[in-house]
Chains A and B, each alone.
Chain A
Amino acid sequence: MRSVQLIILQRLGLGLLTLLVVSMVIFIAVNSLPGDFAQAILGQGATPEAVEAIRQQIGLDKPPVTRYFEWLGGAVTGDMGVSFAQANFASNFGSTSNTGVTVVDQIAPRLANTMFLAGVTALIAVPLAVTLGILAALYRNSVFDKAANIFTLSSISSPEFFVAYILILLLAVLNPIFPSLSNIFNDMPFDARLKATMLPALTLTLVVTAHMMRMTRAAIINLLASPYIEMARLKGMSPLRVIVTHALPNALAPIINVIALNLAYLITGVVVVEVVFVYPGIGQLFVDSVKIRDIPVVQACCLIFAAAYILLNLTADILSILSNPRLRHPK
Chain B
Amino acid sequence: MVENRPFAQFMAYLTLVIGVLVVAFPVYLAIMASTFDAATIINGNMPLVPGDQAGVNYPRALFYGGVHAREPVGGMMLNSMIMAMGIAIGKILISILSAYAVVYFKFPFRKTAFWIIFITLMLPVEVRIYPTYKIVADLGLLDTYTGLIMPLIASATGTLLFRQFFMTIPDELLEASKIDGAGAFRFFKDTLLPLSITTIAALFVIQFIYGWNQYLWPLLITTKSSMQTIVIGIKKMITTTDALTEWQIAMTTAVLAMVPPVLVVIFMQRLFVKGLVETEK
A, B in one complex: no
**Interface residues, chain B, CB within 8 Å of chain A?**
none
**Interface residues, chain A, CB within 8 Å of chain B?**
none
